[in-house]
Chain A
């Protein structure tokens, strides 16, 4: 049997007979490899592989024109087709243009309701993007504006992939439209609809030329995606987009006030490859994750490497004999490589298996933070990369395991008894690795704990109100036109919407709770933001306009700070309550209470005056919202229709509400309402914080893993150092050294490296973090307290990691070594 075959056989045997070596290696390397492979698979799908739906992506660019309404609020301007159509006319006719407006809508197909994403688009957009037409006619056809196209996923579920879908109709936004085609699912874009991955899509098409003839609607805020296709030299530049904006506003907005408003706001224009636009911050997030996972892999390898050194030092004699028998050191290294192959193969298999499961868990772990989740998988390239990583690690281990054993040391080992002075091993490599590991641990812990702290602060911050046993009851408007008509009234009191809400409140009273006639819980999904120009200061003021109802403040323990609460008698007046933020913005942090009793102009019109009767504490209306909603808030007795008809009920403690129970009391309120849903405030809090909490748990897991790896690594090294120093300790004990002085000696020995590692780690983490934060926008600002805490925790953990194994070695009768001499 050849030496290599024999080594391989020994390797297989050691898998089972040497679990102290094989088990930590397989588990540690396997799991960290899984993490690295998972992130590599994500990076491969998001950054390298062609997009699954869009063809010729290299020539397609995303165009954004964003208006800065205030510091925290930026709204896309290209949300209307007529604006994009104007842009199309403005630039070269050789460019191809596409536009999609995204919204949610319920569709009814064959009496069954589907939660779908509505894509109102310029005709020809799917063809421009290269989206496959599965069935039916081109979206540029004459009939396009009368019908709809549905996505392949919706076609599968609603029509079972039957071709007769083309002869069918769907109920959609209060009207009936024929299905004219089936398009491939639009997957690359995050459409903001979590239901069915957003793949149930209904497309409506409008002719851009017709849109040009429509007047400017002066609406802002809805989401629009604009694409342009063409060669680089023909593409609009960001500067020219500014010129277009001015040109458009001048030409299309006739009223001077909105024109001045639009031209007076700062603007951001951007044109970028479509993949960059779709991936957004994900690119840097993936790179940061990749660095973190590779760092963990390096730390794990350092730990395993210390174990390897200890193992191979114990076999020095064996290698010395091999060397004396004529084996070159290189051959010994190759034999070690072959011997370790079975262990590394098992680690690779475990890594691939764990990566496969991790990827399946990604939708839960990553939530909405990563696009194209369903396309991420372990493919042949991942397997090859995994194998390559492990082969490189094995080769490195085999090389370094014998690096300190030069030929001289080998023969010396044979000539000596293996005891006494020759048995002292060099530890410089292990110490350098320990410093390196501490630096990595410091950086990783700083990044993960600062991120975790941000998530914690976000989830568990003071919202400014209590969470009683409150429920939000909501119903869908089946008729969109009726829904829109409800919002058209001169006086809210007495309007159809007012009466509908009063009627609903009366019925809900039967549930036995306290009905609060407002549409939303204080933690709300929809927030009405109003912006206007202050006639006194000419500043743009942005605020949240929230509905008020009797009992709203006391039931949610929203503290009244000045003045009085609104009363039912205030219904027909312009009396309002504002929050402290609002008052401070108007009158400053000292005199804010003086706002009570003051009439405030809310625009240029004389009738837009409100009278502030009270000030309440600030509340946070949402957690994890994409924009900062810490805005001044004004509470008034007026409701908007909203996307659904909803109301709040506070039930006695311990009492829950079911949809069936609510449906029974609502009865036949109006045939144009349906789909009752009940959401408790806890459910709302859970759903709003879910992604942030998951992120926090993932980040904390990374931090815990980092700390555990660092502790294992340093304690392993300390154990090895103490074991190597047993002889010296024994001599010292024989000459009168007490146990405590031996411990001091070992701590002093490791202390210098620990201090060096921690100081270097601290410096690297401070500067490294700030550099990373400049690249990854999701990373929060650097905080010294967390960084100092990391240093302290790590120092304490490292001290224990050194002291415990050292003390155990001291306790284990080191003088036995001397007796054995």
Chain B
């Protein structure tokens, strides 16, 4: 299977007030097409940092990172943006919808930035929103829908451009159990339809649903667990 993510010896450190903090210490991993990978670990272990590097929202201090065969080292800001637009969909913990835009416009953003024609955008957005069950709320403002619905819209935005990789950061962190379960079910369905997903979570109920779990501690991979069959898994 095609390798979507290939990370080699990734380091990330922040220089604060004369104190250097090492968030990631030599992480290497690969994600194959169609995989559902869960990254887990305690708070502060570096899982969100790893996801932002994977999503090209940040860059590693050391190490190499290839996404869909593209070496991201030395890419300029706009080149990274292009790669992100064409290959990555990102779902944030706090949804990050723009409240001045409608649900439709929020979801359309990646395609508009790609310069797609209006009719192509419209068809793709409707398809994505239908897929996440939000087709009936297209003209709503983000603040007019619930948290669970906002997260669904955020997922629709992430998958609308048909990216090679969907990165999901604590998708249930800001949701109640019912909404959290529904969002996880949605992600599982998307994965079944072929989406490659990397999800950061500290909730073991949800991490157990992934094909593979990667556990981090103090910026290092301390355990990696392969789940044999995911065919009949459902959110309890």
Contacts and interface: CB of A to CB of B under 8 A. Distances in A.
Decide whether A and B are members of one complex: yes
Interface of A: 417, 419-421, 424, 727-728, 730-741, 815, 818-819, 821
Interface stretch (B1-9, B77-85, B223-231): B77-85
B84 A421 contact: no
25 contacts: A417-B94, A419-B94, A420-B95, A421-B97, A421-B143, A731-B96, A731-B97, A731-B98, A732-B109, A732-B113, A734-B84, A735-B85, A735-B157, A736-B81, A736-B82, A736-B109, A736-B110, A737-B109, A737-B113, A738-B78, A738-B113, A815-B57, A818-B52, A821-B94, A821-B96
B58 interface: yes
Interface string B58-95: 10000000000000000001100110111000101111
Nearest to A738: B78
A736 B114 contact: yes
A738 B110 CA distance: 11
B148 interface: no
B30 interface: no
A652 B19 CA distance: 76
Contacts of A424: 99-100
Given A735-B90, A736-B161, A739-B81, 8 more contacts: A420-B96, A731-B96, A734-B57, A738-B81, A815-B57, A815-B58, A818-B57, A819-B58
A815 B84 CA distance: 13
A204 B67 CA distance: 103
B180 interface: no
A739 B96 contact: no
Contacts of B90: 734-735
B55 interface: yes
Contact of B92 (A728, A736, A741, A821): A821
B81 A421 contact: no
> Which of B57, B58, B143 has the most A CB atoms < 10 Å from its CB?
B57
Nearest to B163: A736
A359 to B, nearest CB: 50
B12 to A, nearest CB: 11
B41 interface: no
Contacts of B142: 421
Nearest to A423: B99
A733 B86 CA distance: 12
Nearest to B111: A736
Nearest to B161: A736
A821 B113 contact: no
Nearest to B51: A819
B105 to A, nearest CB: 11
A710 B82 CA distance: 37
A420 B94 CA distance: 7
Nearest to B108: A735
Contact of B98 (A417, A728, A738, A741): A728
B154 to A, nearest CB: 10
A819 B52 contact: yes
Contacts of B58: 815, 819
Interface of B: 48-49, 52, 55, 57-58, 77-78, 81-82, 84-86, 90, 92-100, 109-110, 113-114, 142-143, 157, 161
A728 B98 CA distance: 6
B180 to A, nearest CB: 18
A739 B92 CA distance: 21
Q: Pick the most buried of B48, B81, B84, B100: most chain A CB atoms within 10 A of its CB.
A: B81
Nearest to A730: B96
B143 A736 contact: no
Contacts of A728: 98, 100
A471 B17 CA distance: 72
A821 B95 CA distance: 10
A788 B109 CA distance: 40
Nearest to B142: A421
A736 B96 contact: no
Given A734-B57, A735-B85, A735-B157, A818 B78 contact: no
Contacts of A738: 78, 81-82, 113
A740 B109 CA distance: 15
A737 B161 CA distance: 13
Nearest to B84: A736
A410 to B, nearest CB: 17
Contacts of A815: 57-58
A281 to B, nearest CB: 53
B222 to A, nearest CB: 23
Which 10 pairs show the lowest CB-CB distances between chains A and B? A736-B85, A736-B113, A421-B99, A735-B109, A735-B110, A420-B94, A738-B78, A737-B113, A815-B57, A731-B96
Contacts of A819: 48-49, 52, 57-58
Contacts of B97: 421, 731
B82 to A, nearest CB: 7
B200 to A, nearest CB: 12
Nearest to B143: A421
A509 B98 CA distance: 89
B72 to A, nearest CB: 15
Contacts of B100: 424, 728
Contacts of B48: 819
Nearest to A817: B96
Contacts of B94: 417, 419-420, 821
Contacts of B86: 736
A418 to B, nearest CB: 11
Contacts of B49: 819
Nearest to A421: B99
Contacts of A731: 96-98, 109
Most buried by A among B93, B98, B142, B161: B98
Contacts of B85: 735-736
A417 to B, nearest CB: 7
Contacts of B78: 738-740
A476 B90 CA distance: 94
Contacts of B84: 734-736
A818 B142 CA distance: 18
A728 B93 CA distance: 16
Contacts of B81: 733, 736-739
B92 A818 contact: yes
Contacts of A417: 94
B15 to A, nearest CB: 14
A731 B108 CA distance: 12
Best-buried of A728, A731, A741 by chain B (most CB within 10 Å): A731
A170 to B, nearest CB: 82
A574 to B, nearest CB: 86
A731 B107 CA distance: 11
A165 B159 CA distance: 104
A416 to B, nearest CB: 9
A682 to B, nearest CB: 59
A594 B81 CA distance: 81
A734 B113 contact: no
B192 to A, nearest CB: 25
B157 to A, nearest CB: 7
A727 B97 CA distance: 10
Nearest to A417: B94
Contacts of B113: 732, 735-738, 741
A687 B157 CA distance: 74
Nearest to B99: A421
Nearest to A728: B98
A455 to B, nearest CB: 49
Contacts of A736: 81-82, 84-86, 109-110, 113-114, 161
Contacts of A737: 81, 109, 113
A730 B98 CA distance: 10
Nearest to B55: A734
Nearest to A740: B78
B21 to A, nearest CB: 14
Contacts of B92: 818, 821
Contacts of A733: 81
A419 B173 CA distance: 15
B114 A734 contact: no
* Most A-side CB within 10 Å, residue of B84, B93, B157, B161: B84
Given A421-B143, A741-B113, A819-B58, A734 B82 contact: no
